[in-house]
Amino acid sequence: MKFKGVDFYNIDSLLTDEEKLTRDTVREFVETRIVPIIEDCYEKCRFPIELVKEMGELGLLGPTLPAEYGCAGLGQVAYGLVSQELERGDSGIRSFASVQGSLVMYPIYTFGSEEQRRKWLPQLAKGEKIGCFGLTEPDFGSNPAGMLTRAKRTRNGWLLNGSKAWITNGTIADVAVVWAKCEDEGNQIRGFLVEKGTKGFSAPEIHRKHSLRASVTSELIFEDCEIPEENILPGSGGLKSPLMCLSQARYGIAWGAIGAAMACYTTALEYALGRIQFDRPIASFQLQQAKFADMITEITKAQLLALQLGRLKEQGKATPAQISMAKRNNVAMALEVARTSRTILGGNGITADYPIMRHMNNLESVYTYEGTHDIHTLIIGAEVTGIQAFR
């Protein structure tokens, strides 16, 4: 059955024709290329790397960056709809695209030299090269300001020492955007491009995950890793630089989570209409209808939040706290919808015959990465009260 979307409030009427076309194109890609293989990938812990170039051809990698670097130059709402559709397929596929676009191409575009832009952006946009983003460390997750990774000046560049943890795409990446403190610059945080094969750099994969199994997650290890001078991101400086990247990715996640929720909700609805107990479809019982009423209401609220955030972002007016609100609300909403949908499928809900449990397990990671739910609570709290409660 072709997916028709979830649109209780005629939100389509608030989208431009170009935005709808973008969404429908990605929807078709997800239906034909991702849905048929994703349960198998998830079970086998395999990222479908063969789809990367196809995503590049469709303009899904770094989609808001300008055409002169081979990117699609889409607006923010169109980018949000891309994330929504990809995550309806699987959070791991959206993760891949988020990292490549918001956490690798965005910093190269924003903080990179013209040479770095010309060297990397067109290849990353086509999916010919893959990138990853190394901020989190084993002992510094929510508090990246404490990072231990150090860069020390040498005659020809920099010597990098330290490690990063939980890095999406790490093992398969051709280039890692790595954040480190520069000892000779008062421990200022700067970004470095670490290329695959650089001596002293390794990226072992993290195994035994119960979540995001169709996505590669890795450690990054730097042991006297020599980085040439031309690989520092010259415009980067301070924790603000990586946090600016997170704002881009968190925005995409706010939309992506809606896609995962839509997948669970529509699966549960179709099931409830067909499943007979006590001689009636379970959809006819008031207790089940209450679940659908709650779910469609929460999905609709999340859609409106994401759309208005996108319009603010297009005007350059979206604040980090507004982005936190949408990431926090929409991911928690999706997780709740996944759990409720699972109950509607009864025992069948725990199997790989339906996508719900996969989405639910994936969303546990999404709830934690890009700032945990708690951290976003504190960001909103600080904005409202003017008092930081992190430390």
Catalogue the active-site residues.
Answer: 370
Torsion angle, alpha carbons of 296, 335, 248, 183, to 10: 170
Residues 135, 262, 325, 334: which binds ligand TGC (CB under 6 A)?
Answer: 135
* Residue number closest to ligand TGC, CB atom: 95
Q: What number of other Cβ atoms are within 10 A of residue 276's Cβ?
A: 9
Under rule CB under 6 A, residue 375 binds ligand TGC: yes
Radius of gyration of the chain (CA): 21
User: CA 53 to CA 122: how far, in whole Å?
Assistant: 12
Q: Which option in ligand FAD, ligand TGC, none does residue 98 bind, with CB closer than 5 to 8 A by kind?
A: ligand TGC
Number of chain residues interacting with ligand TGC (CB under 6 A): 26
Binding footprint of ligand FAD, residue count (CB under 6 A): 21
Stretch that binds ligand FAD, among 24-32, 232-240, 267-275, 367-375 (CB under 6 A): 367-375
Distances (CA, A) of 381 to 217, 301, 321, 390: 31, 21, 9, 10
Shortest reach from residue 265's CB to ligand FAD, in Å: 24
Q: Which residue is nearest to ligand FAD (CB)?
A: 141
CB of 164 to ligand FAD, least distance (A): 6
Q: Annotate each residue in 205-244 with x if it binds ligand FAD (CB under 6 A) or - if it does not, as one string.
A: -------x----x---------------------------
User: CB–CB of 320/258 below 8 Å?
Assistant: no
Nearest distance from residue 306's CB to ligand TGC, in Å? 16
Of 184-192, 194-202, 237-245, 281-289: span binding ligand TGC (CB under 6 A): 237-245
C-beta of 163 vs 372, nearer to ligand FAD: 372
Based on the shown chain and the rule CB under 6 A, indicate whether residue 380 belongs to the binding site for ligand TGC.
Answer: no
Residues 89-118 that bind ligand FAD (CB under 6 A): 99
Q: Where does this chain bind ligand TGC (CB under 6 A)?
A: 95, 98-99, 133, 135-136, 142-145, 168, 238-240, 243-244, 246-247, 249, 320, 369-371, 375, 379, 390
Residues near ligand FAD (CB under 6 A) are 99, 133-136, 141-142, 166-168, 212, 217, 365, 368-370, 372, 374-375, 378, 390
